[in-house]
A and B are shown apart, each in its own frame.
Chain A
Amino acid sequence: MLTALGLAVGVALVVVVNAVASGIDRAQQEVLQPLTGVGTDMTVARPLNTSGEGADPFTGLSAAERARLLEEARRGLGLDLRSFAPGQRIDTQGFVAASQLSFPQSRVAAIAREPGVETTAGSLTLDAVRVEGTIPESGLAGARGPGGDIQFDRRSVTGVDVTMPDLGEVTADQVTSGRFFDAARPRARDAILSTAYANANNLRVGATVTLGGADFTVIGISSAPLGGTPSDAYVPLATLQQVADYGNKVTKVLVRVTSVDEVDAVAARVEEGFPGAEVTTASDLAATVGGSLDDAQAISTTLGTILIIVGLVAAVLIATLLTLSSVSKRTRELGTLKSVGWSPGQLVRQVSGEATVQGLIGGIIGALVGVAVAFALNSANWTLEATVQAQEVAGEPGRGGGPFGLGTPSEVSEAIAITTDPSLSVALLAVALAVAGGLLAGLVGGVRAARLRPASALRSAD
C-alpha cells in the first residue's frame, strides 16, 4: 500500500500544480481579454507617433501627421488652430482625432480578404471636445498655463460596427446594464457608456447624453476593461462618421484569424500591405502584463513543469523502491511460490500486476486528493496583482493627456482572483501515468522476484 501512497503523492502534485497553472493562465487571459476584445486576435491602427513629453501635443509628430491632425481639428471643431489671435474668444464643440490617425474604411474589407483572416470589424475612436475660453497673450501653447483660461471638456467616443456584437471595441458580453445595439433595427442615436463615465456623470440607461454637440440615448452600460483603452461612450459607427464628418473613415480594424497559428503570418502581411499601420497581437499585449500575476505565470510555466516532471519521476522512483522493498519482505512468500512450481514469468506478472493495481489505487487517491486541494485553494481567495501598461484617457483629471488624446502611457493594477479549476483530462492522464509507474515499478520488482533462488528464499524464511 506504500507504493500506492507514493504514487498518490505524485499524482496529487501533478493535479494541483496543473490546476494552479491553469488558474494563472485563465487569470492572465482575463486580463488580456478586455485588451484584445472578445474573439479578437489582432488590431490594426495608425497610432500618432508622439514622444508624450512636454505640453506641446505636437512633439514628435512628422510634418505630414501634424498637418493632417490640424486639418482634422479644424474640420471637427470649425477652428483653425494656426489662426488664433491673442484675446480671441472660443466656444465650440465637435469631434477630433484621439490617439490614432484615421484611414479609409475600405481597409477593413481589404484586410478581410487577406489569407488567414476570418473576419474584420472597423471602429472609429474620436474625442468629443468642447473648447471654451479666451486665447491668452502667450498663444495657444500657454492656454493651460499662467493666465490661460481655456477649458477643454473631452470625452472619448468610439463608433462600433453594430452588426458585429462579438468583435469590436465593445461587445455584447461587456454590457452589464441595459442592452447592446440592435443589429436588426439599429437606431442612429443609441449609445453605450462605460461604467466609469456613467457613474461620474450620474447617467443611467434611458438618459440623454450630448457628445460633440449631438444628443444620444443611453441604451447600455459596459464594464471597464483592465488596462485597455476604454472609451467613455460607444455609438454606431455610421452615426459617428456622419456627425463627426469622418465619412468612410475608421481608426482601427479588429481582426479575427482562422487559426491561432496564422496570427504572426497575417500580422506580417497586413503590415506589409498597409504602410504606417501598427498591428498589435494578443502576445504583444501579454508583454504589457506585469506584477505578481506575470511572475506567477512565469513560475507556473517553468517551475510548474519542472515540478510536475520531478514529482512524477520521484513518485515512480519511490514506487519502485517500495516495490523492491516489498519483494524483499516477501522473500519467503515468493520463494514458496517458486518452490510449488511458479515460473519466473508468473512471478513477474504477479508482482507487476499487484504494483499496477496499487498504481491505479494510488492514482485515484492522488487525483481525488489533488482535486480536493485545488478546490481548497479556491476557498482561500488567492489573488495576484496584474499590472498593465495602459494608454491614459486624455483630458480627464488625474489621467493626464493633452489635446487630441495624446496621452502618456501609465500603469494600472488590479487584483485578479486565481481560481484553480482542476482538469479532468489531466487527472485522468496523471492516473494513467501512475498506473504506468506502478507497472514499471512492478516489472523491476517482478524481475528481482523471479531471480530469487527458492532455496535461499526458503532458508532466509526459516
Chain B
Amino acid sequence: MAHDEQRRNPLIRVSSVTKSYGSGRGRVEALRGVDLTILDGEIVAIVGQSGSGKTTLLQLLGAVDVPSSGTVEVAGHDVGAMRERDLTGFRRSVVGFVFQHFNLIPTLSAYQNVAAAAVNGATGDDDADPIAALLDQVGLGGRMDHRPAELSGGEQQRVAIARALVNDPQVILADEPTGNLDTETGREVLELLTGVADSRQRTLVLITHDDRVADAAQRVITIRDGLIVEE
C-alpha cells in the first residue's frame, strides 16, 4: 500500500477552505478551514455526524458549489475559479455523483437516466452501446427499460452508479450511497462501487455514517464542526 501511495499523484487538493451560508446572525459556517489531499485512485471515506460539513465538502469537490475562501483543486481544475461553461464540462466529465436518494428522473427508464448524463448520448446499437454495457456491468442488463418506480432501491442505486460512471470520470463522489438501502443491498452496492473504482483505478470519495462503509475505504477522514479532526 505504501508503495502504491508513493506512485500515486495527488488528484484532489483542498487548501484552507471555508464555506459559510447565510449572513449576519443566521450565518452558518459549514467548513472552517479544511486542508486535504486525496491521491489518484484512492478510496477515501469521510465520516462525521450530521451537520459536520461532510456533504458540503463533497459538493465543493464536485463543483456543485464554490468555497467561500481557500482553494479546491480537482484534477488540475480550480473549482472556485471556473466559469459556468467550465463548471458544466467539469461536472460532466471529471466527476460522477452518486446520491443517497438515487436522484433518478422518475419519468425516464434506467437506460434513459444513464443516457441523460452521457456526453455522447445513446448509440442505439446494442452491440457497441456503452450505456447498455455499463448497465449490464452493474447487473441491470435485463432491466434497462424499467423506470425507477419499477426498480428496487438497490437497483435504483445501481442505475445511479452507472450514471456516475457513464463518462468515465476521474473522481466518483458518493454521498451516503448505502444510506437508503438495507444491510445486504448496501453491502452489494458498496462492493460494486469499490470494485468499479478499483478496477478502473478511479478515485472514490465516500461520505458515510456506516462503519462498514468506512471499513471498505483505504483511508478514513473524520470531520467535526467544519474541521478535519482525524485521519
* A residues adjacent to B (C-beta < 8 A): 332-333, 336-344, 453-455, 458-459, 461-462
Partner of A343, one of B55, B85, B93, B97: B85
Report the bound CA distance from A336 to B99 in whole Å.
Answer: 9
How far is the CB of B190 from the nearest CB of chain A, in Å? 20
Query: Does B20 lie at the interface of the complex (its beta carbon under 8 Å from any beta carbon of A)?
Result: no
Cβ of B92 and Cβ of A341 under 8 Å apart?
A: yes
User: Which has the most chain B C-beta neighbours within 10 Å: A333, A338, A458, A462?
Assistant: A458
29 contacts between A and B (CB under 8 A): A332-B103, A333-B105, A336-B99, A336-B103, A336-B105, A337-B105, A337-B116, A338-B64, A339-B62, A340-B91, A340-B92, A340-B163, A341-B92, A341-B93, A341-B117, A342-B88, A342-B92, A342-B116, A343-B88, A344-B84, A453-B65, A454-B91, A455-B59, A458-B64, A458-B99, A458-B103, A459-B55, A461-B101, A462-B101
Q: Does B51 contact A (CB under 8 A)?
A: no
B89 at interface, CB cutoff 8 A = yes
- B62 nearest in chain A by CB position: A339
Bound-complex Cα distance A342 to B90 (A): 10
Q: A340-B163, A340-B164, A342-B92 are in contact. List 18 more A-B contacts (CB 8 A).
A: A336-B97, A336-B105, A337-B116, A339-B62, A339-B64, A339-B97, A340-B91, A340-B117, A341-B91, A341-B92, A341-B117, A342-B88, A342-B116, A344-B84, A344-B88, A454-B65, A454-B91, A462-B100
The reply on B71 being an interface residue by CB < 8 A is: no
| Contact flags B48-75 to A (C-beta < 8 A → 1, else 0) | 0000000100010010110000000000
Q: Which residues of A contact B117 (CB under 8 A)?
A: 340-341
Nearest-CB residue, chain B, relative to A337: B116
Bound form: Cα–Cα A98–B159 in Å: 94
Least distance between B147 CB and chain A CB atoms (Å): 13
Interface class of chain A by DSSP: helix
Q: B163 contacts which chain A residues (CB < 8 A)?
A: 340
Q: Measured between C-beta atoms, what is the minimum distance from B120 to chain A in Å?
A: 12
Asked if residues A455 and B88 are in contact (CB atoms below 8 Å), the reply is no
Q: Determine the distance from Cα of A138 to Cα of B23 in the docked complex, in whole angstroms.
A: 111
Complex Cα spacing A336 to B117, Å: 10
Minimal beta-carbon separation of B36 from chain A (angstroms): 18
A455 touches B65 (CB 8 A): yes
The answer, yes or no, to whether B167 is at the interface (CB within 8 Å) is yes
* Distance A337 CA – B91 CA, assembled complex (angstroms): 10
- In the assembled complex, the Cα of A453 lies from the Cα of B21 at a distance in Å of 13
Question: Which residues on B sit within 8 Å (CB–CB) of A343?
Answer: 85, 88
Tell me which residues across on chain B come within 8 A of A462, comparing CB atoms: 55, 100-101
In the assembly, what is the distance between CA of A461 and CA of B96, in Å?
A: 18
**Chain B residues in 8 Å Cβ range of A453:** 64-65
Rounded to whole Å, the gap between the CB of B112 and the closest CB of chain A is 12
The answer to whether A339 and B91 touch (CB under 8 A), given A454-B64, A454-B65, A455-B65, is yes
Q: A458 to chain B: which residues have CB within 8 Å? A: 59, 64, 99, 103
Min CB distance B150 to A, Å, is 18
Bound Cα distance from A332 to B117, whole angstroms: 15
